[in-house]
Structure formats: C-alpha cells, structure tokens
Amino acid sequence: MKALMRRIGRLSRSLYARIVLVYLTSLLLLSVATAWIAISQFNQLGRELQQRLEIDLAENLAEVMQPALHQGADSAAARDMARHIVSINPSLSLYVLDERGRVIADYAEPACGLGRRVDTRALETLLGDEPMLPVLAMSPCGQQPGVFSVARIRHGEQGGSGDFPGFLYADLDNAGHASMFAMLRTSSILRTLVVAGLMALLVSGVFGLVWFALLTRRFSRLTAAVQRFADGDFGQRIAAPRDDELGRLARAFNDMAGTIEAQLQALRETDRQRRELVANLSHDFRTPLTSLRGYAEQLLAMVTVEEEGRRRMLTAILDNADRLTRLAQQLSTLALLDAYDKPLLREPFSLAELAHDIVGKFQHQAREAGILLTMDCDPSLPRVDADLGLIDRVLSNLIDNALRATPAGKWVRIETDVRPEGVRLAVIDSGVGIAAEELPLVTQRFYRTRASLARGEGSGLGLSIVREICERHGAAWKIVSSPGEGTEVSVTLPRA
C-alpha cells in the first residue's frame, strides 16, 4: 500500500500529470464556454425565428383593428377586438403607443404598461427595409429586452374625434420563451447535439491523454538515461533521436556523454599510470634503502665510544632510512588500495595470532621508547574472513601511530572481543590524543595533526590507509579520542 501511495505521489508530481491537469482544465473550461455560447446563441436563434415568423403579425392585426382604433385607442370597440385576438393567442400582449413610444392603451388583464415608454429607435429599426434580426426592445411590462412585432396605425381619441399617428405593439417574448423552453425539453436535435458534444469531449480527453503519454514517454526515456548516466553507467546513450526539440536534446546528451566518457577514460589511464609510478617508485626505493641501512649499521658498529658525534650522525641516518622505508611501504599499500579492480585475497585466519605476531614486532620499539605495550587477546577467538596482508598493515599502522603518540612512561594496549557483528580489535593508548576539530580530518591522505607536526614525525598516510582498507572490506571502524587522555581506534571484522 505504501509503495502504491509513493508511486501515485511520484506520478502526481510528474510532468505528465501537470500537462494532463492543464489540458483537462482547459478542455473543461472551453467546453463550459462553448456550451454557454451555444445556449445563448440558440436562445438568440429562437428569438430570431420567432420574430422572423411573426414580423407581419402586428401589420395584420392593425388591419383588423383599424376601424375600432379610429373610435379611440382605449375605446370599448378596440378593447373588445383586442380581447378577441388575445383569446385566440393567450401568450400575446398588445399595446398602442403614440408617436413618441408612450403606451396609451394596454389590452392586458390587468393593465401594467400605461404611461411607460418603448424605445422608438427599436421600432423604426424593425420597420426598416431589411432589419438585422432579432431586434430587441424593453417591453412595457417586461423586465428585460425581448422580441416584438410593430405596425404603424392611425387612432382617434375617446369618442371617435381626431386622427393621430401611433404604433400597434405586439409583445412576442412570452410566446417565444414558452416555445423555446418546450423545444429545449423535447427537441431530438438538441439531444443529438448534447450527446455529440459529450462524445467529442470524451474523445478529445482520451486522445489528449494518449498523446501526452506518448510525448512524455520520450521525456521519461531521456530522464532514465540521464539518471543511469549519473549513477555511473557512462555508456548510456539515446537510440535513434528524432529531428525535433527532444531529438536535438537527445543528440546533445549523446555528444556530452561521449565527451565525458572519453575524458573519464583518459583520467582512468592517467590514474593507472600514476598508480604504476607510485608502486614502481615504492618498490625501487626499498633496495637502495636496504643497502643504505646495511652500510649505516656496519659503520655504526665500527664507531668507537670516543666518536660520539659520528655515532649520533649514523643513528640519524638510520632513523631517516627507517622513515623512508615506512613511507615506501605505505606508498606501496596505497598503490595496492587504489587498484580497485584487483580483488581482495580473502582467507580465514586467527586475529589473535596475527595481533600476537605484530605486537612481538613492536616490543623492541616500545621498550626503547619506555612504553608498556600489552595485549589482552583470547586465543580462542573466532577466525575472521579478510585479506591477511592488508589487515596486517592496519594493525601495524595503528600500533605504530599509538607508540609515536604516547610519551615515555605511558602504555599502549591491544584488546579483542566478540560481538554480534563480528570480531572487534581495538588499539588503545594513553598518549596526547586528538582534538575534536581534527578527528574528521585525520583520515584524509597526508593530513598531519598539530601534535605530529610538532614532533616532526608521520607522513599523514597511516589512518587514511586504515580507513581505505576497512572500506574495501566493508568493515566497521571507529576513532574515539580526547586531548591529553589518549586515543582508541577499533576495527570490527566479519567472522569466517
């Protein structure tokens, strides 16, 4: 369920979802606007048809009512005639207007338009030669403009005296709306139009969804290729890009990927040559250093007690030869670690035996420095699975660092124990310790702490080698240190 929700969440944030949202919203708004325009124009068409069909109605009624109108627009004869006409067409409303458009006779029951005015410009427009229909005017009893029919008449005053111009005004809006609503409810043509409109909306929506899915699929393929390239698959390319914007983007990506891959190949070759150079130099250093150390030891053996100055110089030569030898060994180890394509030589071995051997190698150095080097290691510890040569280098570096960071009269202890995740080995000293701000930096290559710089010792490679060997093995390791109290470095190796 959570995976489904995450997938839905990713889909809702995708480009496809945004395009679909904009498209469907626009389609819905366009449909509503089109429906509103269609209904309003259909209504206008109904009014136009109503007015066009009955445009001569007022003229015909005027011929019938003219004798009664001569007796007066509001005479009994005129009212009887109008009542008879309205009884035939109850939806019709008749008015007599004077020449200024004022209602002087209202034949409706009850009368509601006496004294009101109708815009004579609308009347003159409809009476023109070719009026543009529909022509709308505000009905004397209406609340909004509607269609009408009008004719010129001559009417007299009450009692039959006088002959005045005016208009016979027939309000058609009530009849038109009634027929309009009936047509909206019962017209098969309208139903067909509604169904066709809904089908067009559905087809447009489905077509748009499919089209956008096809369009964004190319984006998705391009995005997936870029993501795989970012994850390290530098041979990733877009196949057969088209000649459009996305195709040009795909070709640009292919060109960029080719350039980056070529540069990476050049960097790998340069790095390989560098590693070979470091390995060769570290190997070539060992023979002259061994020879130099041998000659220095022979000379030192020949120095008499009286030649103390010469003894100090030869001792300094031996010390520096030792430092160079250690540096050559560390560079050789770095060259080995940098060769990531070279697999680890894993094998099961006893960590207790290895620790015992290494402590034995450093006992002489510890005694000369006045440091107590001890080991608390159970010989029955489970065997571990690791590269024996690299773990030997880890323990040697840790013990050598601990001895150099511990002043005379202090101690260095090696402890081992069994934990659920593996066998843990810790090198603990009571030396100068490491400042908190330097702890994140001590595993960087060639970084030397302030205490190491003050002693003029170290190459800045010991702990960086330990870190890289542990990372190659997937082993957990940890440094805990307090200035003036000492340092503890622990490594946990998997059981065999």
Position 178 pLDDT exceeds 50: no
**Beta carbons within 8 Å of 468's beta carbon, 6+ residues apart:** 334, 337
Position 148 pLDDT exceeds 50: yes
Mean pLDDT of the chain: 79
CA angle 403, 329, 347 (to 5 degrees): 90
Which position has the token pair 């209504």? 43
Category of 458 on φ-ψ map: left (φ > 0), alpha (ψ -120 to 50) or beta: left
- pLDDT value at position 280? 61
Position 455 pLDDT exceeds 70: no
Position 174 pLDDT exceeds 70: no
pTM equals 0.45
C-beta separation of 48 from 133 below 8 A: yes
- pLDDT value at position 183? 57
- pLDDT value at position 274? 67
**Sequence-ordered alpha helix ranges (H) in 303-350:** 308-338
Q: In what order do the strands lie in the sheet with 148-155?
A: 103-106, 93-98, 164-171, 148-155
SS (H, E, C) 97-108: EECCCEEEEECC
- Quick check: helix, strand or coil at residue 190? helix
Q: How far apart are CA 274 and CA 268, in angstroms?
A: 10
**8-state DSSP, 495:** B
For the ranges 48-52, 450-454, 459-463, the maximum mean pLDDT occurs at 48-52
Q: What is the mean pLDDT of residues 144-148?
A: 87
Q: How confident is the model over 303-355, as pLDDT tens digits?
A: 766 677 777 777 777 777 777 776 666 666 666 666 555 677 888 988 888 88
C-beta separation of 153 from 69 below 8 A: yes
Which position has the token pair 């030997």? 392
Q: How confident is the model over 237-246, as pLDDT tens digits?
A: 877 767 777 7
C-beta separation of 400 from 362 below 8 A: yes
Q: What is the mean pLDDT of residues 150-169?
A: 80
The better pLDDT of the pair 298, 150 is held by: 150
Position 6 pLDDT exceeds 70: no
Q: Token pair for residue 263?
A: 């540069």
Name which of 172, 54, 155 is nearest 105 in CA terms: 155
Distance of CA 135 to the CA centre of its chain: 57
Q: Token pair for residue 189?
A: 């043509």
- pLDDT value at position 282? 61
b/e sequence 326-337, b meaning 16+ C-beta within 10 Å: bbbbbbbbbbbb
Q: How far apart are CA 327 and CA 322, in angstroms?
A: 9
- pLDDT value at position 320? 73
Position 16 pLDDT exceeds 70: no
Q: State phi, psi for 376 to the nearest 5 degrees.
A: -120, 90
C-beta separation of 366 from 372 below 8 A: yes
What is the crossing angle of helices 173-186 and 188-230, to 10°? 60
Category of 457 on φ-ψ map: left (φ > 0), alpha (ψ -120 to 50) or beta: beta
pLDDT tier at 167, thresholds 50, 70, 90? very high
Q: How confident is the model over 225-280, as pLDDT tens digits?
A: 888 888 878 788 877 767 777 778 888 888 888 888 888 888 877 777 666 666 66
Q: Token pair for residue 107?
A: 């034949």
Q: How far apart are CA 401 and CA 463, in angstroms?
A: 8
Which one is the CATH code of 234-342: 1.10.238, 1.10.287, 1.10.1740, 2.60.40?
A: 1.10.287
Q: How far apart are CA 79 and CA 65, in angstroms?
A: 10
Position 179 pLDDT exceeds 50: no
Q: Token pair for residue 221?
A: 């393929």
CA angle 132, 135, 137 (to 5 degrees): 160
Domain 54-185 falls in which CATH fold? Beta-Lactamase (3.30.450)
Q: Which helix (H) or strand (E) holds 480?
A: strand 476-482
Q: What is the mean pLDDT of residues 3-25?
A: 68
C-beta separation of 463 from 397 below 8 A: yes
Category of 60 on φ-ψ map: left (φ > 0), alpha (ψ -120 to 50) or beta: alpha
CATH superfamily of 345-493: Histidine kinase-like ATPase, C-terminal domain (3.30.565.10)
Position 176 pLDDT exceeds 50: no
Q: What is the mean pLDDT of residues 281-295?
A: 67
Share of the chain above pLDDT 70, in %: 81
Q: Token pair for residue 472?
A: 């190659």
Ordered DSSP codes for 107-123? -SSS---TT-B--HHHH
Ordered DSSP codes for 397-434? HHHHHHHHTS-TT-EEEEEEEEETTEEEEEEEE-SS--
Q: How far apart are CA 327 and CA 323, in angstroms?
A: 6
C-beta separation of 148 from 171 below 8 A: yes
Q: How confident is the model over 91-144, as pLDDT tens digits?
A: 788 899 988 989 888 887 777 888 889 999 998 998 988 888 888 888 888 788
What is the crossing angle of helices 308-338 and 388-404, to 10°? 140
Q: What is the mean pLDDT of residues 151-169?
A: 79
The better pLDDT of the pair 197, 57 is held by: 57
Domain spans of the chain, in order of start? 2-49+193-221, 54-185, 234-342, 345-493
Q: What is the mean pLDDT of residues 389-400?
A: 85
CA angle 289, 293, 296 (to 5 degrees): 135
